[in-house]
Structure 1
C-alpha cells in the first residue's frame, strides 16, 4: 500500500531556557517568552542577552538601557559594568563546574 501526501504542515513550540526565578526581563518586566515593548512578535528578532553578571534581558531593552545617561554602562540589576556573555549561557555553568572539579582533582 502506498500513500501520497498532497500537503504537510508542522507546528513547532519554543521556549527560552532561562534560570532566573521570575523569568521576566528586569528592564521591561515582560516575560522572556514574550517580546520586549519595541517588538511585535517574539522570536529571533527579540533575542535574550546575558551579562557576565549572569543577569538576562531582552536585547532591545538592554540596548535602550545602555544608551541612557543614568546607566553608566552598568547592569540595571547589580550595577556592575555590563559585559555581554559570549557563548551559550546554559553550557557555561556546566563548563565552569567541570573546570572547578578538574582544578580540585589536580590539588
Structure 2
C-alpha cells in the first residue's frame, strides 16, 4: 500500500519560558497577553529583572511609572533593574 500526501498543513505553537505562569502585576497568563494588548507575541513581550522576576513589558513599565521615588520589583521589593540577557 502506498500513501500519497496531497496536502500538508503544519501547526506551530509557542510558549514563553519564564519562572512563573502568570504576570505578578496583572495576573494574566504569559501565554496570553496583558490587558492593554489584543494579541500575545512580539507586541507584548516579557521582561525580566535582575531579581529574576518576570512581567509583561507594559505591566512593569506602568508599575514603575507609578513608583515615583523607589522603583522596586512588585514581587520582592528590590530595586528594579532590567536584566539584559
Of Structure 1 and Structure 2, the greater helix share is in: 1
Mark the CA change 1:56 to 1:71 in structure 2 (over 3 Å): closer, same or farther.
farther
Question: What TM-score results when the alignment is normalised by the length of structure 2?
Answer: 0.83
Query: Counterpart of 2:32 in 1: which secondary structure?
Result: coil
Runs of 4+ in 1 over 3 A off after TM superposition: 7-10
Deviation for aligned residue 1:18: 1.5
Question: Which ranges in structure 2 are unaligned for 5 or more consecutive residues?
Answer: none
Query: Counterpart of 2:47 in 1: which secondary structure?
Result: strand
User: 1 CA distance for matches of 2:13 and 2:33?
Assistant: 15
Structure number with higher relative contact order (C-alpha < 8 Å, ≥ 6 residues apart): 2
Mark the CA change 1:49 to 1:29 in structure 2 (over 3 Å): closer, same or farther.
same
Partner of 1:43: 41
Q: How many positions carry a matched residue from both structures?
A: 81
**Highest Rg: 1 or 2?**
1
Question: Which ranges in structure 1 are unaligned for 5 or more consecutive residues?
Answer: 88-107
Question: What TM-score results when the alignment is normalised by the length of structure 1?
Answer: 0.67
